[in-house]
Amino acid sequence: MKDRILNSQEFKSLVRSKNTISLILTVAQLFIYFGFILLLAYNKEFLGQKIYGPVTVGIPVGIGVIILTWLLTGIYVAWSNKKYDQKVSEIREKLVGGE
């Protein structure tokens, strides 16, 4: 049974798609956070500019990092709940014998 699962196209594409999504989102998260940190280190003036009354650029950017962080996990969970779980149950039914 093991070999049948491992050699099946379905399982291979499942692993590939999941790893791709995880990798892309991880890189996106690293980019967002370390981008923010490096912006702070190298261009404080930009973040300190006022855009609306007393509100500086840094405030929506900082809050934005928090919201984006949450959105990225949301994208991952939505994809997994919809696509990934469906593929898993297909594989289970076809190859494991519908445990």
Partner 1 sequence: MQTVLGQPTLTGITFFLLFVFATLYITYWAAKRTKTTTEFYAAGRSITGFQNGLALAGDYMSAASFLGIAGLVALKGYDGLIYAVGFLVGWPIVTFLIAEPLRNLGKYTFADVVAYRLKQRPIRTAAATGALITVLFYLIAQMVGAGSLIKLLFGLPYEIAVIIVGCLMIAYVLFGGMLATTWVQIIKAILLLGGSTILVFLILLSFGFNYIELFSTVTKNYGDKIVQPGGLITNPFDAVSLGIALMFGTAGLPHILMRFYTVPDAKEARKSVFYATGFIGYFYILTFTIGFGAAALVGQELIMKIDKGGNMAAPLLAEALGGEIFLGFLSAVAFATILAVVAGLTLAGASAVSHDLYVGVVKRGRADEKQEVKAAKIATLCLGLLAIILGIVFKGQNVAFMVGLAFSIAASANFPALLMSIFWRKFTTQGALWSIYTGLTLSVILIVLSPTVWVEILKNSQAIFPLKNPAIVSFFASFAVGILVSLLTQEKEAEAKFESEKIRSYIGVGAE
Residues that bind partner 1 (CB under 8 A): 2, 5-6, 11, 14-15, 18, 21-22, 25-26, 29-30, 32-34, 36-38, 40-42, 44, 47-48, 50, 52-56, 58-59, 62-63, 65-67, 69-70, 72-74, 76-77, 80-81, 85, 88, 91-92, 96, 99
Residues forming beta bridges with residue 43, ordered by sequence position: none
> Minimum CB separation from partner 1 for residue 62, in Å?
4
> Minimum CB separation from partner 1 for residue 32, in Å?
8
Structure tokens belonging to residue 99? 């445990």
Beta 55-56 vs 50-52: how paired, if at all?
antiparallel
- Tally of residues, the chain: 99
Contact between 78 and 42 (Cβ < 8 Å):
no
> Minimum CB separation from partner 1 for residue 9, in Å?
14
- Distance (Å, rounded) from C-alpha 77 to C-alpha 72? 9
